[in-house]
Structure 1
C-alpha cells in the first residue's frame, strides 16, 4: 500500500481539547499565559563532561590541536627570556664599553620570529577548534531532531511549544557560541600557565612562590562565585524559553487577541516575562562579573610583591635587571590566563546550562519500540475495538470497555458532544497513544504489535485544521507519496476539485504556499489536504471534520468526492454536521468516552435517543421541517 500523508496528525492530535487541556492544566498554560515548566538544578561537572564527550568523534583532530597549541604556547613563553638577553645587553653596554647592536639585532629577530610563528600556529589551532565545535553542534542538532521524531505525543502535550523551540534553537546556538569562544582560549591559557610556571621556577623559585600564592586565592573566589551564579544561568535560559513561548503564542494567535481586545493583557504578560528575564539575566551576569575585578585585584598584589623583591635583589646583585623584567612579564603572562579563564566562567556556565536543557530532551523517555508483526496483504480493512480502555489522566478515565467493529469497506460515523472521545478513538487507531486495556485489531492483527510506520502507511487522515508546508501546491499534494507521477497528482486534484481553483492562481500547481498558507483560502487548503489523502490511496480513511472549513457548495462537491474515495475502503468519519453522515453504514453516538447508541441514520432517529437530540439541536425548525426540506 502506498505511503500516505497524515496531515501532520501528531501536531493536531496533541492540540485536541480532550487531552491537551488536561495535560497542561497543571502547568499554568492558558491563552497567552506562558509556561510553568520547572527546571532541575544543574550538575555542572557532569553536564560539562557529557558536553565535552560529544566531541569524541573528533578526538584525533583534538589531539593534533592540543599538540600544536602546546608548541605555539611554548614559543610565546620563550619570548621574555629572549628579550631579557636584550635588556641585559643594553644595561651592560650602558655601564661598560657600549652596546653590541649586532647581538641586540639578533635577539630582536629571534623574538620576532618566535612571536610570528607562534601567532600563526595559534590562529590555525583556533580555526581547527571552530571546525570541531561546529561539527559537534551539527551532530547535536541531528540528535535532537531524530529524538523529537521518537518521542511520544504525550511528551509534546507536556512541553509548551515555545519552550521546546527555545531548547532546539536558542540553547544549541548558545552552546556553539560558548564552546567557540572558550575552547581555544582555554587550551592556550592552560598551556601558557604551565609553560610560564616552569620558566618562573627556573628563573627564581622564591618569586615564583609569590606568584603561586595568588592561584589558590583566585580559585577560591572563582569557585564561590560560580557556585552562586550557575543557578542564575539556569533561570536565565528558562525565562528565555518562557518569553519565546509567550511571543510565539501571541503572534500565532494575534487575530484572536485583537478580536477579543486582549492586547493590553498580552502586553502585560509580555512585560512580566520580560521583567523576569531581565532579573534573571542581570543576576547571572552581575554575580559572574564579580570574578574579573577580584582576580585583577589579587594579580595586582602579586605584581607589587615581585617589583619590591626584584628591586631589592637587583640592588644586592643577586639577580639581573633583565631577569626581573622577564619575571614581571611572566607574572603577567601567568596571571592573565588565569584572569581570562575566570572571566570565561560566565560563558561556560551559560553554555553548560543550555547543554543540560538540551540533554533533558535527549534523555526524555521515547515511545515504546515497535514490534515486527506485519499487516496482511492485501489489507481488507476490518477494524475491531475489543474492550478498549484509555485515559490521558489516570485519575480521570475517558474511555472504558469500548467495543465496536467496522467491516471492510464500511463507513463508520462518530458523533457526539465536544470532549466525548471522538478524536481519541481515531488517535488510538493511529497509535498516537496506546490503549490502557483491551486491544485494537486490523484484519485480526493487534496494532500494538505492528510497527507504527507500517500501520500509518495504510491509514489516510484528513484533519479539521488543514496543514500545508512551505512549497508548491503540487508538492503538498504529493507529500505522502513522493513517487507519484504528474498524471496521478492531476487525477487526485481533479477528483477533489482542487483543479477548479488552481487554474485561477498565477502559477497554477507551481504556486508556492507561504508559511501561513495565507495565499489560499481555508476551504482551498482543506481541498489540498483531501487531495493528498486521495493520492495516498490508503486502505483505511479517517476524516476528522474534514469539511468543516468549506462552504456549503464546496462541501457538496467534497462529499461526492469522498463517496467515491470511500468505495471499498473502511472509513471513520468524525462529524458535527449530521447532514454529512446520513449515508454512513453505522453511526456511533459517543458521550463521556462510551458508545451510547449505534445504528443507521433512520434507525437512530426512530430510537428517540441521544442521536435524535443532537439532530434536533442542529435544525431549529424541527425534525419534521428539516426532513421535509431534505
Structure 2
C-alpha cells in the first residue's frame, strides 16, 4: 500500500494532466521572472558603485533605464503568472468539483438521507475552493520560491562565503521547521470545514422549511441553534488559524536573527574595505529578497493545511461506495414490461422492516393499483423498482430480468416515475420538460403537451418554451405540476410507469383532467398506480392491498370490487361513504 502522501499526489495529478501545457508555459514564465528578480539588485549595485566612483551621467542614466525596463518587464510577467496560476487552479479544481458532484449523484439514497443539501454544497464547493486557492499560487510561489532561493544562495557563494553560509543555514533551518510542522493544522482545518458544513446544512434546512418555522413561532429557537453553530465555527476556525500560522511565526524569528547576522558581517567587510558600498547594498537586498520566498513558503504552508484538509475530505467523499451495485446487462424486452416481486423483504434500517415477503406478478401492459394506509409500504415498492435502495432479500424482475443484473441507465431508460412533489429547475420551460435533453425536438414536446392538456398553459407563457422558470415550482399550480411531471415521463417513452399518488393534492375537476392524461400514458406501457383515493383506480386491472408492510390482498380489480369479503370491497365502501358525507 503506497504511503498516504503519494496517494494524494497521484490523486491530484489526474486533475493536473489536462492542463500540462499551461503548466509548462507557467514554469517557463516563472523562470524568466526569477531571473529578472535576481538581475535588478545587481543593476542597483553597479549604479551605486558608479555613482560613488567615477561613473558618468550617461552610464548612470543607462543603468536607471535598464532597471526601469527590467522592473516593468518583471511586473508584466508577474501579472501573467497570476493569471496562468489561477487559470490552472480553476480548470483543475473544477474537474474535481465535477468528479465530486457526479460521484455524489450516484451514491444511494441512504447516503443522501443522512446529508443535507447545504452540507453537500459545502463539501463539493467549499472544500474545493480552499484547494483552488492553494493550487492558484502553488506553482508560482512554492516552485518559484525554491528556484529563487537557489539563485540567491548561488550568487552569495560567489561574493562571500561567510554570508552565503549564514543565509544557507537560515534557509535550511526555516524550510526544515516548516516541513516538520506542515501538518500541524490539518486536523483542526478539517474540523473547521465540518463546522462550516454543519452551519450551511442548518441554514439550508431551515430555509427550506420556512413556512413551518414561521407558522409555529420557531424563529427564536432557530436563531438560538444558529448562534450555537456560529460559535462552533468561530472556535474551530480560531484554533485552526492559530495552528496554521505557527510555521510562519517560526520563520519570522529565524529571519530576524539571520538579517542581523548578515548585516553585521556585511558592515564588517565594508569597514575593512573588502566590499564596496554597492556590494553591501546587494547583500542587504538579497537578504530581504530571501525573506520573500521564505515568507511565501510560510503562507503556502497555511494554504497547504487548508487545502490538504479539503483534499482529505474530498477523497473521503470519493471513497464512499454506493450500496447499489450496477449489473452488466443493458437490454430489456421491447414493449410493455412485466413486473415480478419474489418474497421481497426490505428495511430502511436494521431495527424496522418495512416490507415483509412481498410477492406478486404483473403481465406486460397490465395496470396495478396499490392501496393501503400511510406507512404501509406503498412508496417503498416504487423506490425498490427504481433501485433507489437495495432489498434485504428476495428478487425483483422487470421484463423477466433481475434488476440487480441491469445497468442503472438501462433501467431508468425504460422505467418512469411520477411523484406528488414535482421539482422545477432553474432554466427554460423546454429544459424543464425535457430535463435538459437536447435530442427531444419542440415538435415532440408540443405533441405530448397537446395530448396531455398542458399546451394552453404553455401558449399562455410570454415566451413559450423559451420562458425562464425559477427553481422550486412556485409558478405552477398543483394540477399543472402533475401534468408537467406526466409530460416529462411521457417524453421518455417508458415501458413501465409508476405513479406515486399523483392526484392526492388535486380537486375533482383537475383530477379528471389528470386521469385522462394518465390513461393516455398507460396505453402503451405497464402501470403501477399508488393511490390516495380509491376512486382513482377504476381503470386498473389488478389491486394490491398493503397493511404494515405485508401484502394482504392481490387480485383482479373487478373480482375484488364485487366480493363483499375482500379488503378492497370494504375500502371502496368506506371511500364512497366519505364522499357522500
Q: Same fold (TM over 0.5)?
A: yes
Alpha-carbon distance, 1:167 to partner: 1.8
1:573 equivalent to 2:529? Answer yes
Q: 1:127 to 1:485 in 2, by over 3 A?
A: closer
Q: Deviations over 1:204-258 (max 9, x none)?
A: 1111222233234434553566443222211221111111111111111111211
Q: Is the 8 A contact 1:200 1:208 kept in 2?
A: yes
Does the 8 A contact of 1:605 with 1:611 survive in 2?
Answer: no
Matching residue within 298, 318, 333 for 1:376? 333
Q: What aligned pairs does 1:302-341 form with structure 2 within 5 A after superposition?
A: 302-341=258-297
Correspondent of 2:135 among 163, 179, 183: 179
| Structure 2 residue 211 is the aligned partner of structure 1 residue 268 | no
* Per-residue deviation, residues 492-524 of structure 1 (Å, max 9, x unmatched): 334433245555555555543322222221222
Q: How does 1:112-511 map to 2 (within 5 A)?
A: 112-219=68-175, 221-223=177-179, 226-366=182-322, 367-377=324-334, 379-479=335-435, 483-484=439-440, 486=442, 488-499=444-455, 501-502=457-458, 505-507=461-463, 511=467
Equivalent in the alignment of 1:58 = 19
Distance 1:53 1:383 in 2: 43
Q: Using the alignment, how far apart are the partners of 1:109 and 1:348 within structure 2? A: 40
Kindly tell me: are residues 420 and 505 of structure 1, through their superposed partners in 2, closer, same or farther at Cα, counting changes over 3 Å? same
8 Å Cα contact 2:166-2:262 kept in structure 1: yes
* Cα shift readout 1:423-458 (whole Å, capped 9, x = no counterpart): 221222222233333322233222322322222222
d(CA) in 2 for partners of 1:518, 1:626: 31
2:553 aligns with one of 558, 581, 597? 597
* 8 Å contact kept, 1:440–1:447: yes
Secondary structure of the structure 2 residue equivalent to 1:244: helix
Q: Distance in 2 between matches of 1:490 and 1:339?
A: 64
8 Å contact kept, 2:326–2:404: no
Q: How far apart in 2 are the matches of 1:270 and 1:605? A: 58
Consecutive unaligned residues in structure 1, runs of 5 or more: 1-41
Q: Provide closer, same or farther for how the CA distance between residues 308 and 512 of structure 1 changes in structure 2, counting only shifts above 3 A.
A: closer
C-alpha contact (below 8 Å) 1:190/1:337 kept by paired residues: yes
Q: What's the TM-score once normalised by structure 1's chain length?
A: 0.83
For the residues of structure 2 that align with 1:84 and 1:284, how far apart are their CA atoms?
44
Q: Deviations over 1:376-425 (max 9, x none)?
A: 22x24221112223333245433343210112222211122333221221
Residue of structure 1 equivalent to 2:507:
551
Q: Larger deviation: 224-233 or 185-194?
A: 224-233
Q: How far apart are the structure 2 equivalents of 1:261 and 1:550?
A: 29
> Is residue 84 of structure 2 the alignment partner of residue 84 of structure 1?
no
Q: CA deviation at 1:530?
A: 1.8
Of residues 498-507 and 169-178 in structure 1, the stretch that sits farther from structure 2 once superposed is 498-507
Distance 1:120 1:497 in 2: 63
Aligned to 2:493: 537
The alpha-carbon distance between structure 1 residues 596 and 509, as it changes in their structure 2 partners (threshold 3 A), is: same
> Using a 3 Å threshold, how does the CA distance of structure 1 residues 556 and 225 change in structure 2: closer, same or farther?
same
- Pairwise CA distance, 1:572: 0.7
> How many residues are paired up?
577
From the superposition, tell whether residues 425 and 453 of structure 1 become closer, same or farther in structure 2 (CA, over 3 Å).
same
**Deviation at 1:532?**
2.7
State the superposition RMSD in angstroms: 3.1
Distance in 1 (alpha carbons) for counterparts of 2:550 and 2:447: 40
* Residue of structure 1 equivalent to 2:479: 523
What secondary structure is seen at the aligned counterpart in 2 of 1:397? Answer: strand
